[in-house]
Amino acid sequence: MSSAANITSAFQNKSVGTADIVVIIVYLAFCLAVGIWATWRTQRSSVSGYFLAGRDMLWFAIGASLFSSNIGSGSFVGLAGTGAASGIAVSSYELNGLFCLLALAWLFVPVYIASGVYTLPEYLKKRFGGQRLQVYMSVLSLLIYVFTKISADIYAGSIFIQQAIGWNKYVAIVALLLITAIYTVSGGLKAVIYTDTMQTVIMVGGAIVLMIISFVKVGGMNKLYEDYLDAVPSTLVNNSDCGLPTEEAFHLLRSADAGDLPWPGNVFGITILSMWYFCSDQVLVQRSLAAKNMHHVKGGSILAAYLKILPLFTTVFPGMISRILFPDQVACVDPDICEAVCDNRAGCTNIAYPKLVVELMPLGLKGLMLAAMMAALMSSLTSVFNSSSTIFTMDIWHRIRPGAADGELLVVGRVFVLILVVISVVWIPVLEASQGGQLFNYIQAVTGYLSPPVLSLYLLAILWKRTNEKGAFWGLMIGLLVGLIRMGLDFGYGSPACGEMDNRPTIISKVHFLHFTIILFFVSLLSTIIISWMTAPIEEKHIVRLTWWTRHSISEREPFDEEINFKLKAAEQSEKQEYVDPETLPRWRQVIYIICGYESPKPPEDISAEEEKDRSRMLTSIHESPKWKWFVNINAIVLMTFGIFLWGFYS
């Protein structure tokens, strides 16, 4: 019998018992019930209700949704897998996110709310005029969602089901998507946020239980320190050092030439990626835009930031424990063995967390943990689905059809979700083979090639009034070109297998992707600044309430000519649409309309100009009462102090 067969036969999955299946079924039923209940509470026939939950969400729901949207099954699988491969440095992504969540609430969201937008590409249209920035950012956001969010989370969820009950990977994917689609497509953001709140409780509870069981099994923290460095697979390749744990496994900050997470990339590169993700990405920002007021925006960010401390202990350390318990499987380096263990010749660290769930959790609790993983998958998928449909509907379809009624926009958004899913599933084989099979590194690498120019633009748009449309657009284009060249080389050459010579170009082999992220950010930033200085500035009257310095302005903003023409065209097309009484439609069409939240175009509301201004003023208010402002500010200081302590303790 081959070595691969010996290892896999010695490591068979423990079956999921009847109690586990019952727990999973009860969870799924409860999850669907919450989603359907939230669906009927949502203003599904209004764009604001569907995409921004009517802007009446409270801080605990915002915070839970921010956390669960960020910590999906891809994070459980990816963080634990990279922790198993190289130690705790990967938790820098989570600890950096703590500070970036505060930047979201204190710096970015006040400007977004004051500008009165639904999406971040829409903010760029208002801030700079024209339409090319809005369209480009919309397309780029959707590409990032396909390549890093949807495909990665679907793949991670399928790994759990594959490891637990032995289903074919693509059968598992279809099952997960069917469950998720029921309330996402019909319910909108409010359904997503309510189910996220419930799933956060299940995720955190299940992860804490597994953490405790894992530490008991390995013998505590001291044994983890001792045994991790000895967790080497029995079969190595060509007597190389592949598969050997790094001596810096328990340090956040490592040498500048470290192959996994060098300290400059850790401190600066990860900060750039985290700030882009939390402060200028639609998925996370959309939750904050749905908050009832600024106190709930900040309270939600504080809650999510506290929760971001947990993954180091509940995910990364357990991933390292999994390597200790199952070194021949989790840490395998022989491609034949890895293919037999996890059907991936590039490596099997991605199974670190699922193996713990399947092997260590007792009956019943195993079902709870699998339910928690499904919760993580569904919460992140639903968030991305809703945000993707928002971007496509409001920034692309609405541009094509200016006079489209709310009902049409809602149906288009739902249909687009289905198309996006198909594209993401097709991309999964590419994802599997990238970055040595480490899912989390793949996600961060792709993000590092595409997102730094975006963050540089939003920072300049908010903080530097002199930034103009030409500078913004060409800064993005230069950054995109440089990033795509690096990404094409990275995917084209792939990662050398264990024991192979690294013959890749120096820009790939010697420049870590996090170091490249820093270079790309400053290339885009400087390009935007230089081109803006060389071209005419935007008049002050067009950027009222669109920068940090003008967010409290009470002056009336004057729209760009393109905005005025677009509104006139939309009004002209809207007048041509006739209202159809739903009661007169065939029964089958009424059923479809109920599911999709569709309503025929209605006559415009008869409200005065003053009432319209009051409504707009409420939606764009960033007023804070002094008492609650002090409360959230003190909490933010306490949180940052604790975050700095953790960085110092583990650096």
Residue 357 in domain: yes
- Are 475 and 407 found together in one domain? no
Would you say residue 445 lies in a domain?
A: no
What was the pLDDT predicted at 48? 47
Those residues of the chain that have pLDDT short of 70 are 1-16, 32, 34-56, 72-74, 160, 162-170, 172, 176-196, 237-241, 259, 375-380, 382-383, 403-407, 410, 424, 428-441, 494-500, 570-585, 588-619
Q: How far apart are CA 193 and CA 488, in angstroms?
A: 36
| DSSP 8-state code for residue 538 | P
Q: Does residue 206 share a domain with residue 128?
A: yes
**Whether 123 and 237 share a structural domain:** yes
Q: Supply the pLDDT for residue 42.
A: 53
pLDDT value of position 50: 45
Asked whether residue 446 is assigned to any structural domain, the reply reads: no
Residues 557 and 545 in one domain: no
Pairwise CA distance, residues 590 & 584, whole Å: 9
Domain boundary among 519, 550, 581: 550
Angle (deg, nearest 10), helices 282-289 and 365-391: 90
Contacts 24+ apart (CB under 8 A), 11-18: 11/326, 11/328, 11/329, 11/341, 13/163, 13/164, 13/166, 13/358, 13/359, 14/358, 14/359, 15/165, 16/164, 16/165, 16/366, 16/367, 16/370, 17/363, 17/364, 17/366, 17/367
Same domain, 36 and 80: yes
Return the percentage of the chain with pLDDT > 70, whole number: 72
* Token pair listed for 48: 């604001």
Which residues on neighbouring strands pair with residue 262, listed in sequence order?
254
Q: What is the DSSP string of 82-121?
A: HHHHH-GGGGHHHHHHHHHHHHIIIIIHHHHHHHT-SSHH
Same domain assignment for residues 129 and 263: yes
Q: Is 201 a domain residue?
A: yes
Tally the domains of the chain.
2
Question: To 10 degrees, what angle do helices 317-325 and 352-360 make?
Answer: 70
Please indicate, yes or no, whether residues 227 and 251 belong to a single structural domain of this protein.
Answer: yes
Whether residues 325 and 428 fall in one domain: yes
Three-state DSSP class for residue 57: strand
In a domain, 442, yes or no: no
Q: Within a domain: residue 231?
A: yes
DSSP summary character for residue 585: S
Mark whether 380 and 484 lie in a shared domain: no
**For residue 460, what are the domain limits?**
451-496+503-550
Q: Is residue 585 part of a domain?
A: yes
**The domain spanning residue 292 has which CATH number?**
1.20.1730.10
Statement to judge: residues 545 and 562 lie in one domain:
no
Are both 260 and 366 inside the same structural domain?
yes
Domain identity same for 227 and 149: yes
Give the global pTM. Answer: 0.81
Of 512, 529, 550, the one marking the end of a domain is: 550
Domain annotation covers residue 444: no
